[in-house]
Amino acid sequence: MSTIGFLGLGRMGAPMAANLLAHVDTLLVHDLSQDAVDGLVAKGAEAAGSVAALGERCDIVFMSLPTPPIVRPAAKEIVSRGRPRILVDLSTSGPALAQELHDLLSPLGVASFDAPVSGGIRGAEQGTLAIMAGGPEALWPEVEPLLQRIGKPFYMGETPGAGQVMKLANNLLSLAAIATTAEAMTLGIKAGLDPARMIEVLNAGTGINSATRDKWPRAVLPRTFDFGFSAQLSLKDTRLALDEARAMGVPLPTGERLASLLDRTLATYGDDADFTEMAKVVEEDAGIDPQR
């Protein structure tokens, strides 16, 4: 009998947990939001009641949490009264914390995997997330089939943080696509080109990227700026990448510029700003009314 735990039922965690339901014997869930827990219980999960209960009752526990300062104490609480065999961190919490969790859990006999995901809320709902995992190769055959229920897992190696480094590299490219697309689109708009036709052309040519393919049609062209990923979390991820790069002696000048643009986006549009609102900052710099 497999008893799996899932901590963190936010916009990403809830659909990931739901996709596991039909493939495990028992799924225990926990979140600060009772409504989120009730939503999963209505689908067939069982409420754990506490973070510590996940460690007491589960063989494998997944975490999907927003920031490293939340991940760290959560992991400690999970092992405070029990010992799951495996703890899988689906959060983007950085390679330094992945190493810290390994150092904390390994002496307790608990294996840790860092397995951050990419693909957004839609990917979480559809089970199509890209999952970048680092952890013990000997235990990968146990973890991989579960991860396959929430997306496409890629094993990056045994080094703690291997999955996190891959995720940070992915996020840098994704964010750079937004910023560069915003600049290219602003250039065309200022010249009088139709934005929708521009996206159509870019997606038929070599300028196609994740921003032109998804983010502009869904959130920028209709001026809703509701793609579903916050500028705050994007800035957190970018700073994690910059910290890791500095530790390795790798210059990331583009990453520095992206962090600055996100800082300005948050300062202008508030803490709840979507990361696609970076485009409005670029437009405003060019003298284009971002509220048009």
- Is 280 annotated as catalytic? no
Nearest-Å Rg of the Cα atoms of the chain is 20
Active site residue: 43, 152, 167, 190, which one?
167
| Three-state secondary structure of the chain | CCEEEEECCCCCHHHHHHHHHHHCCEEEEECCCHHHHHHHHCCCCEECCCHHHHHHHCCEEEECCCCHHHHHHHHHHHCCCCCCCEEEECCCCCHHHHHHHHHHHHHHCCEEEECCEECHHHHHHHCCEEEEEECCHHHHHHHHHHHCCCEEEEEEECCCCHHHHHHHHHHHHHHHHHHHHHHHHHHHHHCCCCHHHHHHHHHHCCCCCHHHHHHHHHHHCCCCCCCCCEHHHHHHHHHHHHHHHHHHCCCCHHHHHHHHHHHHHHHHHCCCCEHHHHHHHHHHHCCCCCCC
* Chain position carrying tokens 């860092």: 114
Active site residues: 167
